[in-house]
């Protein structure tokens, strides 16, 4: 049985790390920088902390709704289960995690990032065609599935970003609101 995959983005509001060196800001590893910020939040009044949590939660909701809207705008066939799998979790008081996929839609990373060449079996494509109600033009389901597989093998599947695009759209607004709150 295939392991469920999910795209997860943590609302610690740092861009996803690139391969290679760990992300650093002012020579401080990004993960440690977030811990420093969270530790410093306790110096502010409870009302400021509550407002910061409200901004965090509200922005995470915007990112979630934006991801769903991006799926709709991409005009994909992935709207059903993938759309339903986009959710916000709060593992602790200062973190919001927006995720998509998991066991409900294990193909989420392939939609978000695309694939290189390579394709599923003809049987899986046939099953997908039946589930989506796609009727083959030739009348032969297996032949149509083979043609789809050949196309995917040759060129892969292009990325249709929905989650990180939404994150990028809301990141600066979040930063500006938090700066305004803490500099007031």
* Contact criterion met (CB below 8 Å) for 163 and 100: yes
Share of the chain above pLDDT 70, in %: 77
Closest CA to 52 of 93, 101, 102, 18: 93
pTM: 0.66
* Contact criterion met (CB below 8 Å) for 82 and 107: yes
Residue-level pLDDT at 62: 94
CA angle in degrees (0–180, nearest 5) for 103-107-112: 125
Alpha carbons 8 and 27: distance in angstroms, whole number: 26
Q: Token digits for 116?
A: 């290189």
* Contact criterion met (CB below 8 Å) for 5 and 111: no
pLDDT digits (tens, 9 = 90+) for 109-159: 888 888 877 777 888 888 888 887 888 877 788 888 888 888 888 777 888
Give the confidence band of 55 by pLDDT, cuts at 50, 70, 90.
very high
Residue-level pLDDT at 54: 92
């Amino acid at each position: 049985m295939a392991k469920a995959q999910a795209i997860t983005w943590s609302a610690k509001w740092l861009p996803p790390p690139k391969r290679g060196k760990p992300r650093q800001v002012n020579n401080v590893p990004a993960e440690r920088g977030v811990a420093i910020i969270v530790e410093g939040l306790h110096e502010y009044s409870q009302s400021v902390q509550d407002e910061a949590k409200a901004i965090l939660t509200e922005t995470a909701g915007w990112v979630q709704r934006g991801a769903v809207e991006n799926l709709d705008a991409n005009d994909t066939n992935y709207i059903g289960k993938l759309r339903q799998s986009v959710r916000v979790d709060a593992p602790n008081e200062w973190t919001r995690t927006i995720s998509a996929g998991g066991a409900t839609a294990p193909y989420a990373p392939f939609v978000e990032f695309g694939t290189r060449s390579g394709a599923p079996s003809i049987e899986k494509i046939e099953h997908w065609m039946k589930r989506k109600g796609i009727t083959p033009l030739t009348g032969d389901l297996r032949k149509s599935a083979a043609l789809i597989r050949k196309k995917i093998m040759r060129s892969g599947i292009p990325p249709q970003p929905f989650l990180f695009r939404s994150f990028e759209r809301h990141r600066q607004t979040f930063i500006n609101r938090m700066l305004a709150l803490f500099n007031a």
